[in-house]
Amino acid sequence: MSSGTFGTVINCMDGRVQLPVNDWLKKHHVLDYIDTITEPGPELVLAENTDNSTIQSIRKKVDISVSRHKSNLIAIAGHMDCAGNPADSRVKQEQIAKAIKTVQTWNYEVQVIGLFVDEDCEIRQIETDDTDNLIRSI
C-alpha cells in the first residue's frame, strides 16, 4: 500500500456529503487520503460535549487516524438538511465553531477546521475567534 498524506474528517453519516467533503479536503489541503469518521449530526454531538460514549468513540477513531496514519488535519463537517441535526444554517455554523474547540481540547498537534455544506453542496470553511464564537465562514 502506498503511503501518502492523510487528513481526518468527522462527518455526518449522510452519503450525500461524503464525496464532496473529501474532494474539497483533498483539493484545499493537498491530502492523498481522508480517514472518515461518521456520526449523525456530529457538530451537535461535539458542540454539546455531553454524550460521553459517542465522544469517546469518535475520539478513539481520531486517535488511530492521527497516531497511526499521521493525519495532519482534523475537519468537522456539518450540512443542511441533516436528519440527525435539523438546525438552521447559522446554528449549525455556531455548533461547528464549538465542535472545533471541543476537538482542540484533545491536544493533537494538528490543525482543526470546520466545514459547512450548504443546500447547493457548496462547502465553506468556518473560522472562529479565541473564544468559541463563529467569526465568519469563508
User: What residues does each domain of the chain span?
Assistant: 6-137
Q: How many CB atoms lie within 10 A of CB 65?
A: 24
Provide CB contacts within 8 A for 136, sequence distance 6+: 127
The CATH number for 6-137, chosen from 3.40.50.720, 2.10.109.10, 3.40.1050.10, 3.40.50.620, is 3.40.1050.10
Q: How far from 123 is each of 77, 79, 94, 103, 115, CA to CA, in Å?
A: 9, 9, 15, 20, 6
Tens-digit pLDDT profile for residues 38-52 = 999 999 999 999 999
8 Å CB contact between 134 and 94: yes
Tens-digit pLDDT profile for residues 22-38 = 999 999 999 999 999 99
Tens-digit pLDDT profile for residues 55-96 = 999 999 999 999 999 999 999 999 999 999 999 999 999 999
